[in-house]
């Protein structure tokens, strides 16, 4: 079976939303019961689920400060240097996102504005199990800290030693996070949302996870805020530049295919020979790769090579997909301004998607499954709240009051109108 088929642009049908949005009643029921168990049995349910799914008998849900410090001390100097530079880059980028309170005072004495405050307490989920993601920890903690969040709890699945991965735990130490829990799955989300004897509840949960974690976040939304419901990772490479080495295209497609079997990988090119080369090259090298089974299923199920008539048609297709990652390898870079729907846009031959995952500075928690049509990457703004500030003057109320009262009466809300008119009575 050919790993990736070539499709003409006019024949391409974007089916991702329908596939992922399909109801999974069994998953929903399982997660719902998990949440009920955690709410009813608290810590005992967390211990039981951890034993059942992680094969670990926990004596304590919370990682001790000494274990965090020990993990930090065990980070090799060269590895620590990598993390230190990544943290520097990511912190520098996110500081520019910090919103500040503002207000305007008018001639009549009225003051209007917004009061910007950090969320008091957030929970960050860091995936574990088949893989570990210290980059996820950094990408979630730094914007929360820059926003001024005073209380940050981290939950990550335990390994056989009962602790999250040593690099995840060690980076918590580097970032000054001392509230870390050995918890994964839907039960971790439930514990963060509703709290237990050992875990104080949070007000917002961020961080990606598997389908159980995503479904749990969906079900607790409303009780707490969430960042998004993450779907499988995606990449669209848009190409028409003959100066780009073609193996760049191949390797960049593989960056997403190796994530998981549901990852979506797409090349849009205007050149038939490029489409054929990439198709054949993938056939050659995928069997030689360490994650060949995952990559093969990703490409077979969700891989596409799309042959566009021209770059403008390619951009239209890209905007329709609204991918998580869009790599732009085209001759006329002025056309980048026509890209409206993409979570992150990587421009030019030196901007492989990998630099954004780890080092460049922008956040790698990016909307998936078409959500880039309306959503944005995780940012400092996700950890801030904006309260409207209204300080009316007597002069303005008396000038506008009757209009306001009549507006209220148009909606058949006489008490609203009376509240205004009461203030307009002649003062004693």
Q: At what angle do helices 292-302 and 246-257 cross, to 10 degrees?
A: 100
Q: Any bridge partners for residue 221, and if so which?
A: 224
Is the CB of residue 49 less than 8 Å from the CB of residue 179? no
Give dist(CA 220, CA 212) in Å, integer.
12
Q: Which residue among the candidates 94, 165, 325, 364 is catalytic per the annotation? A: 325
Where b means 16+ CB within 10 Å and e means fewer, 149-177 reads beebbbbbbbbeebbbbbbbbbbbbbbeb
325 part of the active site: yes
Rg (CA), the chain: 26
Give dist(CA 258, CA 425) in Å, integer.
71
Strand duo 121-125 + 303-307: pairing: unpaired
94 part of the active site: no
Q: Which residue among the candidates 179, 215, 324, 353 is catalytic per the annotation? A: 324
End-to-end, the C-alpha distance of the chain in Å comes to: 89
Give dist(CA 399, CA 385) in Å, integer.
32
Q: Which residues are the active-site residues?
A: 324-325
């Amino acid at each position: 079976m050919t790993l990736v088929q070539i499709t003409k642009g006019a024949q391409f049908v974007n089916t991702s939303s329908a596939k992922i949005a399909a109801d999974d009643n069994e998953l929903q029921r399982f997660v719902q019961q998990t949440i009920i168990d955690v709410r009813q049995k608290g810590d005992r349910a967390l211990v039981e689920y951890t034993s059942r799914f992680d094969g670990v008998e926990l004596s304590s849900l919370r990682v001790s400060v000494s274990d965090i410090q020990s993990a930090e001390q065990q980070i090799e100097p060269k590895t620590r240097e990598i993390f230190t530079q990544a943290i520097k880059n990511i912190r520098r980028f996110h500081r520019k996102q910090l919103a500040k309170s503002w207000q305007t005072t008018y001639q009549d004495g009225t003051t209007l504005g917004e009061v910007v405050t950090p969320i008091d307490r957030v929970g960050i989920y860091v995936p574990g199990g088949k893989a570990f993601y210290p980059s996820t920890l950094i990408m979630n903690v730094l914007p929360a800290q820059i926003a001024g969040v005073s209380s940050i709890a981290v939950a990550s699945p335990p390994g056989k030693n009962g602790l999250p991965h040593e690099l995840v735990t060690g980076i918590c130490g580097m970032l000054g996070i001392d509230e870390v829990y050995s918890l994964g799955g839907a039960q971790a989300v439930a514990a963060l949302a509703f709290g237990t004897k050992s875990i104080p509840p949070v007000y917002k949960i961020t961080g990606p996870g598997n389908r159980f974690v995503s479904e749990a976040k969906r079900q607790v939304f409303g009780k707490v805020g969430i960042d998004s419901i993450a779907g499988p990772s995606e990449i669209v490479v848009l190409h028409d530049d003959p100066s780009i080495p073609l193996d760049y295209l191949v390797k960049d497609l593989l960056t997403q295919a190796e994530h998981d079997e549901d990852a979506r990988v797409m090349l849009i090119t205007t050149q038939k020979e490029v489409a054929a080369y990439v198709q054949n090259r993938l056939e050659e090298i995928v069997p030689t790769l360490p994650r060949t089974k995952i990559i093969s299923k990703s490409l077979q199920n969700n891989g596409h090579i799309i042959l566009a008539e021209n770059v403008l048609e390619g951009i239209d297709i890209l905007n329709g997909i609204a991918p998580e990652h869009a790599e732009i390898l085209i001759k006329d870079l002025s056309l980048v301004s026509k890209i409206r729907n993409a979570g992150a846009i990587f421009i030019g031959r030196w901007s492989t998607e990998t630099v954004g995952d780890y080092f460049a500075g922008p956040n790698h928690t990016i909307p998936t499954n078409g959500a880039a049509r309306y959503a944005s990457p995780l940012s400092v703004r996700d950890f801030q709240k904006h309260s409207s500030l209204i300080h009316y003057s007597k002069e303005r109320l008396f000038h506008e009051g009757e209009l306001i009262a009549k507006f209220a009466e148009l909606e058949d809300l006489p008490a609203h109108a009376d509240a205004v008119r009461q203030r307009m009575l002649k003062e004693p």
